[in-house]
Structure 1
Amino acid sequence: MPEGEITQLVVVFFCWVLVVGVAAMFYKSSGDKGIVTKKPPGKERGARHPTATKGLVAEATYEKNQLLTLEEKKYYRLLSDYAYDYGYTVFVKVPLFFILQPKQRSKQFASAISSLATSYVDFVLCDPALKVSLVIVIEPTPKALEDSMTSNTRLDSVLQSCGVGVLHTLSIDNDTRHWIEEQVRQRQLS
């Protein structure tokens, strides 16, 4: 065999050994899955948005929670029936952050945003264009209802200045239905 052909065979043999060695290394590092290339962190199949699990403690155990209590579920069904008559949509436990937004950035902007992010209202009724029209807050006790009726809270005044009707109540009943009808009529006239 000429010397040039031997050199080519030796080079091909070493290249083959190198490829088999690298393949074996990948195979060994991937367990029984075969040759697998590693993806960058966060790109694994089914990976969620990085902030989706922010705040979850790995060692804790979790269970799913009910969105509404039985009483709230009953109120939701009644409100949905009332709202359906007008083409309105009912949303539950809506953070104020989705209803209100400070107009301009100022020194108080950050504190306003954080206070909105931590507060929510029980029910929001949106018109057919999904603009917030009415807010209903279920008060836990008659005393809390009395306090909300006697003192015009900051939240009430802010919501009303934005054109959102606010009702504080102990339960959803016929009085609530009449209030909703009155509010919807007023909004249709304006």
Structure 2
Amino acid sequence: MDKSNDLDILQTYTWRKIREAYVKQAALVREVNNLVGPLILLSNSCNFYFTCLHLFLGITQGMSDTSLDQIYYLLSFTWLCIRTSLVVLSAADVNVCSKDSLPYLFKYNTQTYNLEIDRLQYQLRKDFVALSGMGFFFLTKSLLLQMGGAVVTYELVLIQFDSTDYNLTNTTAY
């Protein structure tokens, strides 16, 4: 028996088992996503709505003169932003972890490279593993920036369409 041939077979078998374990883990993430997808959608929608509402009311009604109200507004808005960010970032970790091993596979020794490693690389590159809000959005790190941009956009639109213009009452005497 040739020991190098046995070693090649053993390495191929090991990499096949690793690839199959990845496929099973990706299937598990998809199954969990199907079960908690409505909850993710509800949670992120409520966080987005309350962030917009809190910011809109703070801008249009202004913070009151008392320092206690100002501190409360700033602390509650900060807590809302931190909570939303941490929820999105912790769920986005699923997507980040699914891609973590790919750079190491590209650095793998070419002398012991085999078909199973190539298949695993292909699956890691092409397979998108992430939690989602029922398919409407995927929880990735870029979603946090998209939500921030959407909050700013909606706030500008809401401020423009706000029917109570506080500055017009002071300038009518001119």
TM-score greater than 0.5 by the shorter chain: no
Higher RCO (C-alpha under 8 Å, 6+ residues apart)? 2
If each structure's strand is expressed as a fraction of its own residues, which one has the higher value?
A: 1
TM-score relative to the length of structure 1: 0.26
If each structure's helix is expressed as a fraction of its own residues, which one has the higher value?
A: 2
Larger radius of gyration: 1
TM-score relative to the length of structure 2: 0.28
